[in-house]
Amino acid sequence: MAPEPTYYENVYDVVRLIPPGRVTNYGAIADFLALGSARMVGWALNQAIHTGDVPAHRVVNRKGELSGRTHFATPTRMQELLEAEGMVVKDDTVVDFDRYFWSPTALLE
């Protein structure tokens, strides 16, 4: 493994801090890291699945849609994981996303 932490390892660290039953979006993580952009986060999470040690299902896009579900083992896996944490997913979108939204900036408070 590379001794030097890469950009996406920082993303992993933030994603692991997302409380169960909560979700966040790509922009919030990018803004918290103040590095790269929302696209980098999504791309980093794609690698995170490969490690299998990051709750990537708690990260959705700004619309609350499960945009990354196709990258999971099965397209429905992401929805199942979110529902298992008490959230409701309708039409590949988190219902009341606004209510379940959590921002990493909360760590600063």
Is position 105 an interface residue for DNA (rule: CB under 7 A)?
no
Is position 16 an interface residue for DNA (rule: CB under 7 A)?
no
Kindly tell me which residue out of 14, 41, 82, 94 binds DNA, with binding defined by CB under 7 A. 41
Distance of CA 69 to the CA centre of its chain: 11
Is position 42 an interface residue for DNA (rule: CB under 7 A)?
yes
Kindly tell me which residue out of 18, 23, 25, 79 binds DNA, with binding defined by CB under 7 A. 25
Is position 35 an interface residue for DNA (rule: CB under 7 A)?
yes
Q: How many CB atoms lie within 10 A of CB 48?
A: 23
Kindly tell me which residue out of 11, 18, 23, 45 binds DNA, with binding defined by CB under 7 A. 45
What is the closest distance, in whole angstroms, from the C-beta atom of residue 46 to DNA in the complex? 3
Closest to 93 measured CA to CA, from 63, 69, 73: 63
- Residue 103: phi, psi to the nearest 5? -110, 140
Q: Is 84 helix (H, G, I), strand (E, B) or coil?
A: helix
**Token reading at 51:** 């490690």
Q: Is 93 helix (H, G, I), strand (E, B) or coil?
A: strand
Interaction site with DNA (CB under 7 A): 6-8, 25-27, 35-43, 45-46, 48-49, 56-57, 59, 61-63, 67-68, 70-72, 78
